[in-house]
Structure 1
């Protein structure tokens, strides 16, 4: 049982929902100075997350035609990055899979009219194993991944999250793993830091401002591309969509998130959010 979650009308406490920036490839695990603050944040997260019985993680690095869930009981790692030091291709994260939980996730999605499938063979990509190696280094919590849908429709991803809201009652921690800024070519742009802050400020306000209703917040997220510097910050939205799933999952109980990280990563401000 999570002892630090908010109770739901006197029922069992709800597991938190978390969106994290996962950094650049394996760099958070390689001592990269540009990831120092992010690495420290990820290492210190367990004190805010309680003791989940399992983890469902939505990674920016897996897209499918329909929602798909990993059901490999002993997942391998997918080193889906290129040009990094040799040791980054020998990293391990031996967490068990959770086939029964994968089946439950599929059932919940199907019941909400969102077609879902099981992938019995896929392993964990770096959007999963890099941050979890820092958050839960003992790899002793069963984990599954849930894909993005390659339509990249924000409303669909919010609906995916909404369909999974009862997972919180089962002590399942849901993590969206992406980045609040993801424009790799822009890191060298002279105005990148300033332009990124414009979008980040909008995103922080959208996710945390308690004066916004849930409906207002959802419409802002659905129409995120009209925000200041939106397409500069996200030429393609796959790194933002895990946040949409998290919002959908958490919003019925509490639509406003807590800002738990808002600091520098490789010269760009990025943010992390927690719902509890």
Structure 2
């Protein structure tokens, strides 16, 4: 069994769980996504909402909930996703990141933010698969996140799911007030991103170079004013590059009137 690698959009706060019509396509996609995957023994999840000065690895046996949104119905602050953690796997990940020169630490109190529990409540509602959270670096350095993914490649022959949870378009002002310009920018950036991820004419080195310089892409900073929602894709892409996996776009639909993609590497 080999690892599967996926980058998914997790939507806006808890809206995918609330029947929001602008999230209907994403909600249906996440619910049916496990049908095309082998059931993993563990999930290693990189969330856009988890970062630190070094990479933070979740070390809790029973991670708690983090309701990192506001202004939503009371029920959304009572959601539970009681999947077990994976402390033994956390120690392995910490060791391999250290060997790769990527600064990291284990946090025994790390919990599940909404970039973790919202998609997993839809994908694996029984919460019976161990989940290990691995953070971003607050440096937001694209090359470092590609290296983070490569350091996780020791998992490539295991039955694990490497899951990056973010959004390929994350301009909050444009979400609340969509404009013709922001929607054109979304098209331009996503056309570039899909080409870079899937083109058979690119060598792995050229693809990594392009992703490292992602902010030079058309309308990149319109779509990602602060790139934390894109960088889980870089971690997945780094893992996939080291594991010899190729990318397929498995979701490409409007989300709040802007494109959102999901990528499967195998």
Same fold (TM over 0.5): yes
CA contact (8 A) 1:214 1:255 kept: no
Structure 1: gaps of 5 or more residues = 1-12
CA contact (8 A) 1:209 1:256 kept: no
CA contact (8 A) 1:79 1:125 kept: yes
Question: Residue 241 of structure 2 is aligned with which of 248, 251, 257?
Answer: 251
List aligned pairs for 1:44-193, cutoff 5 A. Answer: 44-187=32-175, 188-191=177-180, 192-193=182-183
CA contact (8 A) 1:254 1:275 kept: no
Answer yes or no: is 1:265 the counterpart of 2:255.
Answer: yes
Scaled by the length of structure 1, what TM-score is found? 0.94
Q: CA deviation at 1:179?
A: 0.3
- RMSD of aligned Cα (Å): 1.0
C-alpha distance in structure 1 between counterparts of 2:242 and 2:108, whole Å? 31
Scaled by the length of structure 2, what TM-score is found? 0.97
CA contact (8 A) 1:67 1:116 kept: yes
Answer yes or no: is 1:207 the counterpart of 2:200.
Answer: no
Q: Deviations over 1:99-132 (max 9, x none)?
A: 1011111011011111210000121000000000
C-alpha distance in structure 2 between counterparts of 1:190 and 1:113, whole Å? 43
C-alpha distance in structure 1 between counterparts of 2:50 and 2:23, whole Å? 23
CA contact (8 A) 2:54 2:104 kept: yes
CA contact (8 A) 2:246 2:265 kept: yes
C-alpha distance in structure 1 between counterparts of 2:62 and 2:168, whole Å? 31
Answer yes or no: is 1:195 the counterpart of 2:185.
Answer: yes
C-alpha distance in structure 1 between counterparts of 2:243 and 2:106, whole Å? 28
Q: CA deviation at 1:158?
A: 0.3
Q: CA deviation at 1:255?
A: 5.1
The alignment of Structure 1 onto Structure 2 pairs a total of residues equal to 264
Q: CA deviation at 1:61?
A: 0.3
CA contact (8 A) 1:181 1:196 kept: yes
Q: Deviations over 1:80-108 (max 9, x none)?
A: 00111111111111101111011111011
Structure 2: gaps of 5 or more residues = none
Q: CA deviation at 1:232?
A: 0.2
- Of the structure 1 ranges 220-229 and 245-254, higher mean CA displacement relative to structure 2 is found in 245-254
* Structure 1 residue ranges (4+ consecutive) displaced by more than 6 angstroms after TM superposition: none
C-alpha distance in structure 2 between counterparts of 1:252 and 1:75, whole Å? 29
- Of the structure 1 ranges 254-263 and 145-154, higher mean CA displacement relative to structure 2 is found in 254-263
